[in-house]
Amino acid sequence: MAVTRRGILIGALAGGGLAIGYALRPRHYEPPLAPEAGEVGFDAWLRIGKDGVVTVAVPQLEMGQGIGTLIAQIVAVELGADWRQVAIEPAPPSPLYINLPLASRWAELWMPLFPRIASVGSPITRHWAQDNVFTVTADGTSLAAYEYPARVAAASARALLIQAAAEKWGVDASGCDTQNGFVVQGKRRLPFGALAAAAADFDPPDAPVLRASQAKEVQVSALRFPRLDLPSKVDGSHRFAGDVRLPNMVFAAIRHGPIGETELASYDRKRAAGLPGVIEFVRGKRWLAAVADTWWAAERALAEIAPNFIAKKRADSGRIESALDEALRKGEATTLLERGDPSTLKRKFSLARRYDVAPALHATLETASATARFAEGRLELWVASQAPEAMRRAAAKAAGVSLRDCVLYPMPAGGSFDRRLEHDHAIEAAVIAKAVGRPVQLIWSRWQEAVAGPPRTPVTAVLAARTDAANAVVGWKARLALPATAHEFGRRLFDGMGDRAAIKASAGEGDALAVEGAIPPYRVANMVVEHAPATIDLPTGRMRGNAHGYTAFFNESFVDELAHHTRQEPLSFRIAMLGHDPRLIHCLQRVAQQAEWGGGVEASGQGVACHAIGDGRIAVVATARRDAEGVRVDRIDAVVDIGRVINVDIARQQIEGGLVFGIGLALGSSTGYADGLPTSGRLAELSLPLLADCPEIRVTFVDSDAPAADPGELGVAVAAPALSNALFSATGLRFRKLPLLSEEI
């Protein structure tokens, strides 16, 4: 990335000039959730009421992945609470809940000069995360970030409750324990609620003792912990961002200009004069909003006046494809991996293939929604956000108030798939609320979500390999052409840049996060992986699975082609190159047995794929066919190794959901662009899988004591290549473009 003032300052810290003073700065933060009447607070993580209810703070966005239940379960087991008396509450941004693993993973986005020094344990990482209140929910880092601090807080509270009970009984605390919401000692029992106030008067232990049996107890008894958000989602009482209602509230709809260098030119508000309920129009540089007493009235008003926009450099699929092709063939590339003798990869290859991926839309169930109230110089926001503090700062700046005068009430999201890492809708809601002087709820239509939401980047890649006389792979080269999409996102998130400025600032940069997963899990003596940056007129952003969603497609499609090219069975061909990864080999062997793998022979309709993300491993066998109605996926078998399984049900939901999401990306979810507008944008046009299209999915988890890994993205990564390989075995045709079947045969 280009040198920035932020990078220079943190670079000075890395050099030692300011590091001592920075590291020794006092750090004390008040818990963001104060106890209510009848409650006692223990650390920033939990409160216990007189009625024995344990309320657990959840500092991550609940967007369907079950993180609220997981954190509460970790606390409940460590505390010894009764699950029937456990509640959760979304926690507002606070330095007490920083996500250090993610801050370290994204170091190249916020500390571009010295990203390698930003380890999880680095004081620089911790202080940067505290200063920026970095509680972002992304990249499956929630358990890595929060399992341990939540356990420590629960263990500390358990020790205090035991001390209070021991003093009351006049016994040694070492003989007491907690169980099902009680402190117990022999036949004696005292409920948490009766002890909470007295427990708070004791000094917490410096190093509370954690339960040694937590991992196995949680795995064995996972069915004891049903999701806490399930009942309200079933009966419809769960409140999402769009469900907020405030006194005197009005509603806003919006129109954004075409994708490009766009400005709002003109509009004729007189054309909406006769429409009922219309209150006001508010204009931004690139958008126009209508405010009315109902959202539908506001939407009708915008349709009637049809605002005019001036747009240059409009997004166009033809120009995007040309830019990717030019970067692939002639662009100056950044080498991300060079192993062995790279000169051997300049000779003639045994096999080379090109793959293409079209832009993909998030297609969240809930479109962008934000409620804002501006009164007496104070801004209040009700928004679902994966990056709440960055959103809060951007909204405060847009409304012209200090950060202290901007209050965020975090809401759950009806799906996100990383779309809620962006906060453009919150900025717009803040501006509109200030302009009209009343609480406003802004809701984007599905079409506006498609127009203004940054899609997953398009990619073009060429993979090539050399084999020896024994048909073993001795050289592998991958060259990926795509924008520096992660750097663009980082500049929007951390530097507050707009879309066009972020594209311009990121042009030509090598971006390791944008091609994450391009280094295959296979051991090949000579390997080169390159990123050829392309500059396109389309802002791009993060999506569930992120780079793994296309790099796994490239790698697993190509290795399958290599197996067939060398006349070897695809599964054993993979295993032969995985001697260094016994966990992934185990997953492949078990899924072959589970799926009754027949070797992927012609007309079998079976395809295999495997992938690794961090400490997680997955291998799948898909069984598919093509009929008159399109592609039919009959069954997917998956074997997954994610280390310790915290909650089996939620882990299974995440793998199954990821596979279905991946099927959607494989067969649809995509759009082209013409004259700055998407050619598809409505759900019905995206070829998303319906319930009737979902295959039988069988998931097996490997029993392991390894650290817990997130399951949410693994299924997304392997679905497309497994399906593509299955279609090859069913039809004899290779599909090298996502979505599948989009290329001419």
Both tokens of 745, joined, read: 């045969």
Please tell me the predicted confidence (pLDDT) of residue 14: 44
Strand spans (E) along 424-514: 440-443, 459-467, 473-482
Share of the chain above pLDDT 70, in %: 94
Both tokens of 200, joined, read: 């708070």
User: Residue 251 maps to which CATH number?
Assistant: 3.30.365.10
Same-domain status, 433 and 504: no
Is residue 114 domain-resident?
no
Is residue 586 domain-resident?
yes
Task: With a cut of 60, say whether residue 197 has pLDDT above it.
Answer: yes
Q: Confidence class of residue 433 from pLDDT cuts 50, 70 and 90?
A: very high
Mean pLDDT of 427-442: 98
Q: Which amino acid is located at 622 in the chain? A: A
Q: Closest Cα partner for 59 from 173, 147, 125? A: 147
Task: With a cut of 90, say whether residue 1 has pLDDT above it.
Answer: no
Q: Confidence class of residue 626 from pLDDT cuts 50, 70 and 90?
A: confident
Mean pLDDT of 165-184: 97
Same-domain status, 421 and 490: no
Domain boundary among 208, 234, 260: 234
Same-domain status, 308 and 431: yes
Same-domain status, 611 and 689: yes
Is residue 296 domain-resident?
yes
Between residues 220 and 507, which one has the greater pLDDT? 507
Task: With a cut of 60, say whether residue 636 has pLDDT above it.
Answer: yes
Is residue 449 domain-resident?
no
Angle of helix 5-15 versus helix 123-131 axis, rounded to 10? 140
Tens digit of each residue's pLDDT (9 = 90 or more) over 322-343: 999 999 999 999 999 999 999 8
Please tell me the predicted confidence (pLDDT) of residue 11: 41
Tens digit of each residue's pLDDT (9 = 90 or more) over 660-696: 999 999 999 999 999 999 999 899 999 999 999 899 9
Share of the chain above pLDDT 90, in %: 89
Strand spans (E) along 358-472: 369-375, 378-383, 406-410, 440-443, 459-467
Task: With a cut of 60, say whether residue 268 has pLDDT above it.
Answer: yes
3-state secondary structure of 692: helix
Q: Helix/strand/coil (H, E, C) string of 674-689? A: ECCEECCCCHHHCCCC
Same-domain status, 542 and 690: yes
Is residue 520 domain-resident?
yes
Instruction: Quote the domain boundaries for residue 300.
Output: 241-312+368-443
Same-domain status, 729 and 672: yes
3-state secondary structure of 135: coil
Same-domain status, 632 and 689: yes
Tens digit of each residue's pLDDT (9 = 90 or more) over 494-521: 999 999 999 999 999 999 999 999 999 9
Separation CA 237–CA 233 (nearest Å): 6
Tens digit of each residue's pLDDT (9 = 90 or more) over 44-64: 999 999 999 999 999 999 999
Mean pLDDT of 441-466: 98
Separation CA 534–CA 482 (nearest Å): 5
Please tell me the predicted confidence (pLDDT) of residue 10: 43
Strand spans (E) along 495-584: 526-533
Number of structural domains in the chain: 3
Is residue 180 domain-resident?
yes
Separation CA 742–CA 745 (nearest Å): 9
Mean model confidence pLDDT for the chain = 93
Same-domain status, 156 and 285: no
Separation CA 464–CA 525 (nearest Å): 14
Strand spans (E) along 39-92: 39-42, 46-49, 54-58, 86-90
Separation CA 566–CA 576 (nearest Å): 13
Q: Confidence class of residue 221 from pLDDT cuts 50, 70 and 90?
A: very low
Q: Confidence class of residue 603 from pLDDT cuts 50, 70 and 90?
A: confident
Same-domain status, 190 and 54: yes
Task: With a cut of 70, say whether residue 315 has pLDDT above it.
Answer: yes
Please tell me the predicted confidence (pLDDT) of residue 627: 80
Please tell me the predicted confidence (pLDDT) of residue 227: 95
Same-domain status, 501 and 385: no
Mean pLDDT of 608-632: 92
Is residue 292 domain-resident?
yes
Same-domain status, 283 and 152: no
Please tell me the predicted confidence (pLDDT) of residue 223: 56
Same-domain status, 540 and 574: yes
pTM more than 0.75: yes
Residue 478 β-bridge partners? 463, 529
Domain boundary among 396, 412, 443: 443
Is residue 67 domain-resident?
yes
Please tell me the predicted confidence (pLDDT) of residue 17: 40
Domain boundary among 419, 443, 467: 443
Mean pLDDT of 241-268: 97
Between residues 629 and 108, which one has the greater pLDDT? 108
